[in-house]
Amino acid sequence: YLQAQNTYKLTLNAGQAYMANAMRRDTLGANTEWQHTFSPANQLNVFVQYAENRAAGSPPTAPGSDARTTGNTNLLIAGTGWLHSMADGRQLVFASLYTGKESDVVPALVSQPPDGVKRFDGLRFGGQAAVSDRTDGFVSLGWQHAVFAKPNAFIVNNGVRNEHQYDVTAGAIWHADKLWSIKPQVSIYRKNSNLALYSYDRTDVSLTLRRDFK
Protein backbone atom coordinates (compact mmCIF):
# COMPACT_ATOMS: atom_id res chain seq x y z
CA TYR A 1 0.00 0.00 0.00
CA LEU A 2 1.62 3.26 -1.20
CA GLN A 3 1.31 6.81 0.12
CA ALA A 4 3.29 9.96 -0.63
CA GLN A 5 6.38 9.08 1.43
CA ASN A 6 5.33 5.78 3.01
CA THR A 7 5.02 2.21 1.80
CA TYR A 8 3.35 -0.57 3.81
CA LYS A 9 4.02 -4.21 2.94
CA LEU A 10 2.56 -7.51 4.12
CA THR A 11 4.10 -10.79 2.91
CA LEU A 12 2.83 -14.29 3.67
CA ASN A 13 5.34 -17.17 3.51
CA ALA A 14 4.98 -20.94 3.37
CA GLY A 15 7.58 -23.63 2.69
CA GLN A 16 8.79 -27.17 3.28
CA ALA A 17 12.32 -28.54 3.84
CA TYR A 18 13.16 -32.23 3.53
CA MET A 19 16.09 -33.96 5.24
CA ALA A 20 17.25 -37.42 4.12
CA ASN A 21 13.70 -38.20 2.91
CA ALA A 22 12.76 -38.94 6.54
CA MET A 23 12.30 -35.57 8.25
CA ARG A 24 10.21 -32.68 6.99
CA ARG A 25 9.94 -29.16 8.36
CA ASP A 26 6.93 -27.00 7.46
CA THR A 27 7.15 -23.21 7.75
CA LEU A 28 4.27 -20.72 7.82
CA GLY A 29 4.73 -17.04 8.58
CA ALA A 30 4.18 -13.37 7.80
CA ASN A 31 6.39 -10.30 7.34
CA THR A 32 5.27 -6.71 7.85
CA GLU A 33 7.32 -3.70 6.78
CA TRP A 34 7.05 0.09 6.82
CA GLN A 35 9.25 2.13 4.47
CA HIS A 36 9.64 5.90 4.78
CA THR A 37 11.33 7.92 2.04
CA PHE A 38 13.17 10.99 3.37
CA SER A 39 14.51 12.00 -0.04
CA PRO A 40 15.05 10.39 -3.46
CA ALA A 41 18.38 9.09 -2.14
CA ASN A 42 17.51 7.91 1.40
CA GLN A 43 14.95 5.49 2.76
CA LEU A 44 14.28 4.03 6.23
CA ASN A 45 12.49 0.73 6.83
CA VAL A 46 11.20 -0.98 9.97
CA PHE A 47 10.12 -4.62 9.86
CA VAL A 48 8.65 -7.41 11.99
CA GLN A 49 8.67 -11.08 11.00
CA TYR A 50 6.88 -14.05 12.59
CA ALA A 51 7.11 -17.72 11.58
CA GLU A 52 5.97 -21.09 12.88
CA ASN A 53 8.22 -24.09 12.13
CA ARG A 54 6.76 -27.55 12.60
CA ALA A 55 8.54 -30.89 12.23
CA ALA A 56 6.81 -33.82 10.52
CA GLY A 57 7.71 -37.30 9.35
CA SER A 58 10.05 -39.45 11.43
CA PRO A 59 10.55 -38.38 15.05
CA PRO A 60 13.89 -36.64 15.82
CA THR A 61 15.22 -39.80 17.50
CA ALA A 62 14.54 -42.08 14.51
CA PRO A 63 17.70 -43.54 12.86
CA GLY A 64 16.95 -41.92 9.50
CA SER A 65 16.23 -38.43 10.80
CA ASP A 66 18.57 -35.50 11.29
CA ALA A 67 19.35 -34.80 14.96
CA ARG A 68 19.89 -31.11 14.17
CA THR A 69 16.15 -30.72 13.55
CA THR A 70 15.00 -29.94 17.07
CA GLY A 71 11.25 -29.92 16.48
CA ASN A 72 8.59 -27.22 16.66
CA THR A 73 9.54 -23.56 17.11
CA ASN A 74 8.04 -20.08 16.88
CA LEU A 75 10.30 -17.33 15.50
CA LEU A 76 9.94 -13.55 16.04
CA ILE A 77 12.28 -10.94 14.50
CA ALA A 78 12.21 -7.12 14.57
CA GLY A 79 14.67 -4.72 12.97
CA THR A 80 15.40 -1.56 11.04
CA GLY A 81 17.41 -0.68 7.97
CA TRP A 82 18.66 2.17 5.81
CA LEU A 83 18.97 2.39 2.01
CA HIS A 84 21.01 5.00 0.14
CA SER A 85 20.90 5.52 -3.61
CA MET A 86 23.85 7.05 -5.46
CA ALA A 87 23.48 10.26 -7.47
CA ASP A 88 22.91 8.53 -10.82
CA GLY A 89 20.32 6.16 -9.34
CA ARG A 90 22.02 3.08 -10.81
CA GLN A 91 23.78 1.98 -7.60
CA LEU A 92 22.56 1.67 -4.03
CA VAL A 93 23.89 0.48 -0.68
CA PHE A 94 21.93 -0.78 2.32
CA ALA A 95 22.42 -1.92 5.91
CA SER A 96 20.14 -3.37 8.57
CA LEU A 97 20.15 -4.40 12.24
CA TYR A 98 17.78 -6.91 13.83
CA THR A 99 17.05 -8.82 17.01
CA GLY A 100 14.78 -11.74 17.79
CA LYS A 101 14.02 -14.94 19.64
CA GLU A 102 13.13 -18.52 18.78
CA SER A 103 10.97 -20.40 21.30
CA ASP A 104 10.31 -24.14 21.38
CA VAL A 105 6.69 -25.27 21.24
CA VAL A 106 6.56 -28.35 23.46
CA PRO A 107 3.46 -30.59 23.59
CA ALA A 108 2.02 -31.55 26.95
CA LEU A 109 3.80 -34.39 28.83
CA VAL A 110 7.00 -33.90 26.80
CA SER A 111 10.19 -32.82 28.57
CA GLN A 112 11.50 -29.34 27.85
CA PRO A 113 14.27 -29.02 25.21
CA PRO A 114 17.74 -28.76 26.77
CA ASP A 115 18.80 -25.33 25.50
CA GLY A 116 15.68 -23.22 26.10
CA VAL A 117 14.83 -19.98 24.29
CA LYS A 118 17.26 -18.81 21.60
CA ARG A 119 17.92 -15.06 21.51
CA PHE A 120 19.91 -13.54 18.68
CA ASP A 121 21.13 -10.30 17.12
CA GLY A 122 22.46 -9.67 13.63
CA LEU A 123 23.42 -7.22 10.96
CA ARG A 124 23.49 -7.19 7.18
CA PHE A 125 24.92 -4.86 4.56
CA GLY A 126 25.31 -4.93 0.81
CA GLY A 127 24.72 -3.18 -2.46
CA GLN A 128 23.07 -3.33 -5.87
CA ALA A 129 24.17 -1.93 -9.22
CA ALA A 130 22.74 -1.80 -12.73
CA VAL A 131 24.85 -3.88 -15.12
CA SER A 132 22.62 -3.20 -18.15
CA ASP A 133 19.37 -1.44 -18.99
CA ARG A 134 17.37 -4.47 -17.84
CA THR A 135 19.62 -6.25 -15.35
CA ASP A 136 20.74 -5.41 -11.80
CA GLY A 137 23.34 -7.34 -9.82
CA PHE A 138 23.41 -7.49 -6.01
CA VAL A 139 25.48 -8.88 -3.16
CA SER A 140 25.07 -8.87 0.64
CA LEU A 141 26.97 -10.05 3.71
CA GLY A 142 25.39 -11.07 7.01
CA TRP A 143 26.43 -11.96 10.56
CA GLN A 144 24.36 -13.30 13.46
CA HIS A 145 25.16 -14.20 17.07
CA ALA A 146 22.80 -16.41 19.10
CA VAL A 147 22.77 -17.40 22.79
CA PHE A 148 20.49 -20.00 24.38
CA ALA A 149 18.88 -19.60 27.79
CA LYS A 150 19.69 -22.86 29.60
CA PRO A 151 23.01 -24.51 30.53
CA ASN A 152 23.85 -27.56 28.42
CA ALA A 153 25.38 -30.65 30.05
CA PHE A 154 27.45 -31.41 26.93
CA ILE A 155 29.31 -28.08 27.16
CA VAL A 156 32.26 -27.64 29.52
CA ASN A 157 31.25 -26.35 32.98
CA ASN A 158 27.57 -26.54 31.96
CA GLY A 159 27.94 -23.50 29.76
CA VAL A 160 25.18 -22.23 27.49
CA ARG A 161 25.13 -22.95 23.79
CA ASN A 162 26.14 -20.01 21.60
CA GLU A 163 26.53 -19.74 17.85
CA HIS A 164 27.91 -17.42 15.17
CA GLN A 165 26.52 -17.52 11.65
CA TYR A 166 28.02 -15.88 8.55
CA ASP A 167 26.48 -15.69 5.09
CA VAL A 168 27.03 -14.20 1.67
CA THR A 169 24.34 -13.79 -1.01
CA ALA A 170 24.80 -12.86 -4.67
CA GLY A 171 22.40 -12.72 -7.57
CA ALA A 172 20.79 -10.69 -10.33
CA ILE A 173 17.39 -9.23 -11.25
CA TRP A 174 16.34 -9.32 -14.89
CA HIS A 175 13.43 -7.00 -15.70
CA ALA A 176 11.52 -8.67 -18.53
CA ASP A 177 9.27 -5.58 -18.76
CA LYS A 178 7.83 -2.94 -16.42
CA LEU A 179 5.81 -5.49 -14.41
CA TRP A 180 7.66 -8.84 -14.61
CA SER A 181 11.10 -9.69 -13.23
CA ILE A 182 13.18 -12.85 -12.66
CA LYS A 183 15.69 -13.12 -9.82
CA PRO A 184 18.21 -15.99 -9.57
CA GLN A 185 20.37 -16.00 -6.44
CA VAL A 186 22.74 -18.16 -4.40
CA SER A 187 23.34 -17.92 -0.63
CA ILE A 188 26.20 -19.59 1.26
CA TYR A 189 25.98 -20.03 5.05
CA ARG A 190 28.43 -21.13 7.73
CA LYS A 191 27.40 -21.67 11.35
CA ASN A 192 29.95 -22.18 14.14
CA SER A 193 28.67 -23.50 17.48
CA ASN A 194 30.38 -24.42 20.74
CA LEU A 195 28.37 -27.66 20.47
CA ALA A 196 29.80 -29.25 17.31
CA LEU A 197 26.56 -31.04 16.38
CA TYR A 198 25.03 -27.68 15.43
CA SER A 199 27.90 -26.43 13.22
CA TYR A 200 27.31 -26.71 9.48
CA ASP A 201 27.79 -25.27 5.99
CA ARG A 202 24.77 -24.74 3.74
CA THR A 203 24.13 -23.49 0.20
CA ASP A 204 20.72 -22.27 -1.02
CA VAL A 205 19.91 -21.65 -4.68
CA SER A 206 16.63 -20.02 -5.68
CA LEU A 207 14.80 -18.54 -8.66
CA THR A 208 12.05 -15.95 -8.01
CA LEU A 209 9.44 -14.82 -10.52
CA ARG A 210 7.79 -11.51 -9.58
CA ARG A 211 4.74 -9.68 -10.94
CA ASP A 212 4.00 -6.10 -9.83
CA PHE A 213 0.52 -4.55 -10.02
CA LYS A 214 0.57 -0.82 -10.66
Task: Quickly list DSSP for 80-127.
Answer: EEEEEE-TTSSEEEEEEEEEEEEEE---TTSPPPSS--EEEEEEEEEE
The whole-number pLDDT of residue 146 equals: 96
Percent over 90 (pLDDT), the chain? 65
pLDDT-above-70 percentage for the chain: 87
Residue 19 confidence class, pLDDT cut points 50, 70, 90? confident
When pLDDT is averaged across residues 177-205 and rounded to a whole number, the result is 95
34 pLDDT higher than 50: yes
Q: How far apart are CA 22 and CA 18, in angstroms?
A: 7
- 16, 35, 38 from 41: Cα distances, Å: 38, 13, 8
Mean pLDDT is lowest, of 89-103, 149-163, 187-201, for: 149-163
Instruction: Please tell me the pTM assigned to this model.
Output: 0.82
Neighbours of 157 (CB within 10 A): 5
Position 109 scores a pLDDT of: 47
Say whether pLDDT at 67 is over 60.
no
Q: What are phi and psi of 12, to 5 degrees?
A: -105, 135
Sign of CA dihedral 71, 198, 13, 2: positive
Averaged pLDDT of the chain? 89
Q: Is the pLDDT of residue 134 over 50?
A: yes
pLDDT at residue 95 tops 70: yes
